[in-house]
Amino acid sequence: MFCEAFPDIQFFIFTKHVPSLLYYSHIPTALTALLIGFFIYVKSNRNQLSKILLSITLIFLLWVIFNLIAWTNPDSRMVMFLWSFFPVIYVLLYVLCLYFVYVFVDKKDISPKLKSVFALILLPVILLYATNIHLNGFNVVSCEAVEQSGFILFYYGVSAIIFLWILVFGIHRFFKEKLGDARRQIALLIFGIELFLLSFFSSSALATYIDNFELEQYGLFGMVVFMGFLGYLIVQYKAFDVKIFGAQALIFALAVLIGAQFFYSKNPTNLALNAIAFVLTLFAGYFLIKSVGLEVKRKEELQKISDSLAVANERLKELDNAKSEFISIASHQLRTPLTAIKGYVSLILEGSYGKVPAQIQDVLNKVYSVNDRLAHLVEDLLNVSRIEAGRIQYNFQPTQIEELVAELVDTFLVTSKAKHLELKISLPKHSLPKLLVDPNKIKEVTSNLIDNALKYTKEGSVIVSVIGLEGKLRIEIKDTGIGINPEDKEHLFEKFVRSKETTRMVVNGAGLGLYVGKNFIVAHGGKIWAESEGPGKGSTFIIELPFVNPNVKAGVSDQPAVAL
Ligand code: ADP
């Protein structure tokens, strides 16, 4: 039996009564999808994901072909035969999309249990599609099969459930995933697949509802969206060369479309215009593909370089951590015996173990001072490793700086006397407000500066002053020593840096004190710097601390007042 709408004899399986747009919209879309499917399948070494994707595109192609034939063939047996498959194709497509989402997100195959659930979903349509529970008649006027509404409801229901399933699964995994890149991938995939399924579902459901199956044809535009998203995902995260392929596919599709016009062009003007468009397309296409190729190559090279840089950087970080860890452990182990030595030597010197002859006392004094120097060095090393690991603790307390400095200067009087240097202190006439600082840290920095001043001065004096300025307090340590070269001044506060004069003088030191000091002062929101007119002209080291520091609270804190 033939439909009334198509009285003509058709050729092959299509008739000439259908608008050629139908072919244009269906065939290139299906072919492009199939081509991308195959391309990804080959490029990804036939992994599981690409197999599912290829199956989706094959099922989609089947749908397109069945649809086209059902649309253009007037033979009722043929239409009924093809029409009966639609629910199977439909549900299969949805299940495959769900399968794809699972494998994409989890990066592994699904469990046998889930596979059985998928099979169960498919079973009813596979068993019933060819029975009259599905199709129970044929409309000769519109040339369409008549579907049972109960069956339609069933397979639309299944589709809707799978649609929601994908959405819920996607949202759940999106929030579970912590990596930004992986999250973006999930979001894009779910968005693309849901758009594809939605356009399929809504166009088909609408077509059934208003009984106009022409509408259903638009469902396939969802495939374009899906493929677009998929292509983007692959380009963004995996193989760049898909971009070249995309450009080639575009040019190919354009060439086919324009080339097809040759068969429709009736007059020479049209033919000539078409020929020009065709040549221009090929010409532009050639350059487009070439430039995309170049861009892809450059991106790949850049990617390689940045990958290897990232690896090297990671390795460096590990090494740096290992080094800090080592210094920290080693320093701890060194500190304990040094403290013990200091204790025992003091006891001997005090006469706790009997009277010590003057000669031995002299030697013991040397042992004491060398041990002290070593203890300082170890303390500095420990501080450096703490600074680098961000583990310095501050205990901020309101502190009278003049008192702190005066006490400190007293402890250096013996040393200055031994070196025949004058050590003077200058304090403001009126006492200054208290400062919220970690007194031990300020003591450590100032002590190192006074120690340096005495160490690097052969004759003359060292003057320590505390000065109150507008909004800030200044501690100055001025000496008449070896002075500093302008070039050296810049770098003295860096780790392990010592000036040339210092090295020549052969004075002990590792060049860590100023580095540690600067870190402490900056963490208090203050400044520290050196001034000198040059070598031999003495130097002044200056610390400035703000009276009010809104970033600091009294008590113990790991946080410096200023980001270092
Ligand atoms: P160290 O004194 O242990 O070498 P520091 O970090 O305390 O380490 O000082 C770094 C360098 O700054 C010193 O080696 C020295 O070259 C220079 N320096 C510090 N204080 C003075 C000073 N008062 N006069 C001249 N140079 C100084």
- Domain with 217 in it: what CATH number? 1.20.1070.10
For residues 338 and 413, state if they share a domain.
Answer: no
CA distance 315 to 308: 11
For residues 352 and 399, state if they share a domain.
Answer: no
For residues 355 and 501, state if they share a domain.
Answer: no
* Last-in-domain residue among 196, 222, 244: 244
- 440 CA from centroid of ligand 1 (Å): 21
Give me the pLDDT at residue 561, please.
Answer: 47
Total domains in the chain come to 3
Task: Please tell me if the CB atom of residue 538 comes closer than 6 angstroms to any atom of ligand 1.
Answer: no
For residues 424 and 339, state if they share a domain.
Answer: no
For residue 185, is it within any domain? yes
Which residues are CB-contacts of 179 (< 8 A; sequence separation ≥ 6)? none
For residues 447 and 363, state if they share a domain.
Answer: no
* Last-in-domain residue among 202, 221, 244: 244
Give me the pLDDT at residue 493, please.
Answer: 93
For residue 399, is it within any domain? yes
For residues 73 and 201, state if they share a domain.
Answer: yes
For residue 140, is it within any domain? yes
Task: Please tell me if the CB atom of residue 509 comes closer than 6 angstroms to any atom of ligand 1.
Answer: yes
For residues 223 and 95, state if they share a domain.
Answer: yes
Among protein residues, the one whose CA lies closest to atom 7 of ligand 1: 513
For residue 258, is it within any domain? no
For residue 499, is it within any domain? yes
Give me the pLDDT at residue 12, please.
Answer: 41
For residues 101 and 155, state if they share a domain.
Answer: yes
For residues 419 and 363, state if they share a domain.
Answer: no
Nearest to 163 by CA among 195, 189, 185: 195
CA distance 512 to 509: 8
For residues 194 and 150, state if they share a domain.
Answer: yes
For residue 273, is it within any domain? no
Give me the pLDDT at residue 457, please.
Answer: 93
Mean pLDDT by 10 residues, the chain (564 residues): 50 47 64 75 74 86 81 77 85 91 88 92 82 74 74 86 94 85 82 82 68 58 64 55 70 73 70 82 86 84 89 89 79 85 91 88 90 87 83 90 94 91 94 92 95 93 95 95 88 86 71 93 94 93 91 69 45
- 503 CA from centroid of ligand 1 (Å): 10
For residue 267, is it within any domain? no
- 411 CA from centroid of ligand 1 (Å): 20
For residues 30 and 152, state if they share a domain.
Answer: yes
For residue 362, is it within any domain? yes
Q: Which domain holds residue 493?
A: 394-557
* Last-in-domain residue among 244, 261, 284: 244
For residues 33 and 84, state if they share a domain.
Answer: yes
CA distance 76 to 358: 126
CA distance 242 to 237: 11
Task: Please tell me if the CB atom of residue 528 comes closer than 6 angstroms to any atom of ligand 1.
Answer: no
Task: Please tell me if the CB atom of residue 383 comes closer than 6 angstroms to any atom of ligand 1.
Answer: no
| Contact yes or no for 151/126 (Cβ under 8 A) | no
- 450 CA from centroid of ligand 1 (Å): 11
- Domain with 530 in it: what CATH number? 3.30.565.10
Give me the pLDDT at residue 385, please.
Answer: 82
Amino acid at 250: L
CA distance 466 to 474: 6
Give me the pLDDT at residue 18, please.
Answer: 52
Cα three-residue angle 521-527-532, rounded to 5 degrees: 115
